[in-house]
Structure 1
Amino acid sequence: MIHSSIGAVILDWAGTVLDHGSRAPMAAFVKAFAHSGVTITVEDARGPMGMAKRDHIRLVGAAVNQAWRARHGHDFNETDMEAIFAVFEPLNVAAVKTPEHSTLIGGAQAALAWCQARGIRIGSTTGYTRPIMEELAPLAAAQGFTPEVMVCAGDLPAGRPAPLQMWYAMAKMGIWPASSVMKCDDTPPGIGEARNAGCWAVGFALSGNIAGLSEAEMAEASEAERAVMRARATAELMEAGAHLVVDSIADLPRAVAEIEARMAGGESPAL
């Protein structure tokens, strides 16, 4: 079936719709590892962002395994991962409840209203677990973000970049084919999720994890500094398979228009 218009947009949450810079998990990861006597940097914590949080902790643990072995006398293992996760999740829950980490990114409300006016349906997937989202979703709803479906890390057997969350979201919404769906995300695993699901993948360069700045910090950056951040994020997201990269959700209408133009020209997300 050939479509020339986008029927649904599936959105990531942190760094895509709210929490400019995807900053809520950072301190939680650093504190959780510190609780076990191992120091990690914010850059260590940011590396696997977008993945399910248990997978994320596994990768950070592997990256700092030498320090872990020096502190604990053994390689980082599954028991260690679960211990870190047990400390991390409550810290992340507390973080997302604060206004700085739950506020919609500038332009989000207008972009969502634009989609609604065009009949474009909105769903969501996230690397956050359901306990985290049970706290965050009502705060987003109070600001007007109420996607039809919210698929969380841990809801399905495999997280990003596996396509299962996307497929589940589409199945719950009754949206098909995948080529009529656009996924927006600020991380390579989230872009991989879209590509593996057969959907259009649009990356957000300046609002997300790769740039890592709050909205206020981004506003204070010079145009030259923003250009450097944009170039770095664009390169990472395009390497992960993004069909298009824009600055933020404020650019969603332009992204839809560009993807629809490519669809009208006969292009499909599989190409």
Structure 2
Amino acid sequence: MKKIECVILDWAGTAVDYGCFAPVSAFIESFKTLGLEVTAAETRAHMGLTKIEEIRALFKIERVSKAFYEKYGREYNESDVQACYTEFQRLLFSTLRSYSGPISKVVETIDALRAKGIKIGSTTGYTKEMMDIVIPAAAEQGYHVDNHVTSDGLPAGRPYPYMIYKNMCDLNVPFRTSVLKYGDTISDIKEGINAGVWTVGVVLGSNELGLTEEEVNNMPADELKKRMMDVRYRMYAAGAHYVVDSIEELPALIEAINTRMNNE
């Protein structure tokens, strides 16, 4: 019988850090140290990449590169990128532990999947050094995975599929059709599609929605529905096989995928 044997989750915005706020604030503040402004929307548009690659992407924004030239009288270079990344890391490390709390129902759902024999892996845009803070902090609050992979030592991070392949090797999962990638960014979706695995996006708590839990609870229903539909559209446009509102839908969806695979 064909079935999902492994679920690979992203971390920030998917499993922990509702709304994916830790990196957003660090990106904004690190550019401010250079006298440059990037918006929350601009940082979220590239979320899911490795953090150094996101900084490169932010520098490439025409408005940002033009502002740099006007301020410094020259084009930015890799030294400027690295200086910004150093400041980003300093800012992120100072707050990362505070943003490692599991999103509602993640612990219970993952425990239920594990009880069914499903292996739990993970990928991330964070480095190993960053995850050395997040992993134990999340574990203290009940969330842990069977395997965690960063892009350190791999050819590239997202949207390339190498972190998913490494999870499959580490967890002894030989067939891509038995793997489901679950994440909250467009980069997550592309990572899963490029790996050839089942790919599921999540809306609530996601970087793409970009709202705190309080904002979600207090927003007028029509406005929230519109914003959620916009996220859903972007994820499906990026290639997602399915998009769910929250992780609570995942067990039933996995059963539906299992049925679909065995009826094809």
TM-score range, shorter chain: over 0.9
Q: Supply the distance in 2 between the matched residues of 1:255 and 1:53 (Cα, whole angstroms).
A: 31
Which residue type is aligned with residue 12 of structure 2?
A
Pick which of 149-158 and 208-217 moved more: 149-158
Matches within 5 A, 1:242-261: 242-261=240-259
Matched, 1:8 2:9: no
SS in 1 for 2:194: helix
Q: Which runs of 4 or more aligned residues in structure 1 lie more than 3 Å from their structure 2 counterparts after TM superposition?
A: none
Structure 1 portions without partners, runs of 5+: 267-271
SS in 2 for 1:27: helix
Corresponding residue number in structure 1 for 2:24: 26
SS in 2 for 1:127: coil
1:39-97: CA deviation from partner (whole Å, max 9, x where unpaired): 11111211100111111111111012111211222223222111111010121122221
Displacement of 1:220 in angstroms is 1.7
SS in 1 for 2:232: helix
Matched, 1:76 2:76: yes
Corresponding residue number in structure 2 for 1:90: 90
Matches within 5 A, 1:192-207: 192-207=190-205
Structure 2 portions without partners, runs of 5+: none
Matches within 5 A, 1:32-43: 32-43=30-41
Corresponding residue number in structure 1 for 2:177: 179
Q: Supply the distance in 2 between the matched residues of 1:130 and 1:20 (Cα, whole angstroms).
A: 21
Instruction: Among all aligned residue pairs of Structure 1 and Structure 2, give the percentage whose two residues are the same amino acid.
Output: 36
Q: Normalising by the residue count of structure 2, what TM-score does the alignment of the two structures yield?
A: 0.95
Q: Supply the distance in 2 between the matched residues of 1:44 and 1:256 (Cα, whole angstroms).
A: 33
Matches within 5 A, 1:42-121: 42-63=40-61, 64-98=64-98, 101-121=99-119
Q: 1:54 to 1:206 in 2, by over 3 A?
A: same
Counterpart among 208, 211, 214 of residue 210 in structure 1: 208
Which residue type is aligned with residue 236 of structure 2?
M
Q: Supply the distance in 2 between the matched residues of 1:197 and 1:228 (Cα, whole angstroms).
A: 30
Q: Normalising by the residue count of structure 1, what TM-score does the alignment of the two structures yield?
A: 0.93
Matched, 1:125 2:139: no
Counterpart among 214, 218, 221 of residue 220 in structure 1: 218
Displacement of 1:196 in angstroms is 0.9
Q: Supply the distance in 2 between the matched residues of 1:81 and 1:249 (Cα, whole angstroms).
A: 36
Displacement of 1:143 in angstroms is 2.0
Q: How many residues align?
A: 262
Q: Supply the distance in 1 between the matched residues of 2:248 and 2:214 (Cα, whole angstroms).
A: 16
Displacement of 1:251 in angstroms is 2.1
Displacement of 1:32 in angstroms is 0.4
* Preserved CA contact (<8 Å) 1:15 1:22: yes
